[in-house]
Amino acid sequence: MKTAHDPRHLHRISLMQKLFSHSFGNTDDPEIDTIVSHLPETDAKIQAAAPEWPLNKISKIDLAVLRLAVHEITVSRDQPVKVVIDEAVELGKEFGNVASPSFVNGVLGTIVSADQPKEKS
């Protein structure tokens, strides 16, 4: 069972905080270089999943959580999607506002649904 001291959870917090810092212009962190290099594709997926929310209108903390989760789901793919979404929602609860968990969950759910192959009827 995941705890607040789980090393994977703590690592995600660290990455999310670095992505948050990156949104203010801090670009000198090699630990997030891979994530940052995929931001155009990641941001396009976020924008497509939440078209009524331009990226500059999404809170910077929610955007950092989403960028990390989308990267894990679509690029690194080393964790199950459900685990990544659960972690992202938890980060939203811990660091975002009252609406963050449902917003993060909705955006990630839309992205995952869009990436799934369509069944033929």
CATH number, position 90: 1.10.940.10
| Domain span including residue 69 | 7-115
Contact 103, 109 (CB under 8 A): no
Nearest to 46 by CA among 119, 109, 1: 109
The number of angstroms, rounded, from the C-alpha of 5 to the middle of its chain's C-alpha atoms is: 20
* Eight-state DSSP code of residue 30: G
Residue 2 inside a domain? The answer is no
The count of C-alpha atoms lying within 13 angstroms of the C-alpha of 54, restricted to the half-sphere facing its C-beta, is: 2
Examine the pLDDT at 121 and tell me if it is beyond 50.
no
Written as one letter, the residue type at 19 is: L
Residue 12 inside a domain? The answer is yes
Q: What is the C-alpha separation between 91 and 89, in angstroms, rounded? A: 5
pLDDT tens digits for range 10-56:
999 999 999 999 999 877 789 999 999 999 999 999 999 999 999 99
Nearest to 34 by CA among 78, 4, 2: 78
Predicted TM-score (pTM) of the model is 0.90
Residue 14 inside a domain? The answer is yes
Residue 18 inside a domain? The answer is yes
Residue 33 inside a domain? The answer is yes
**Confidence (pLDDT) at 1:** 44
Contact 98, 86 (CB under 8 A): no
Per the structure, the count of domains in the chain is 1
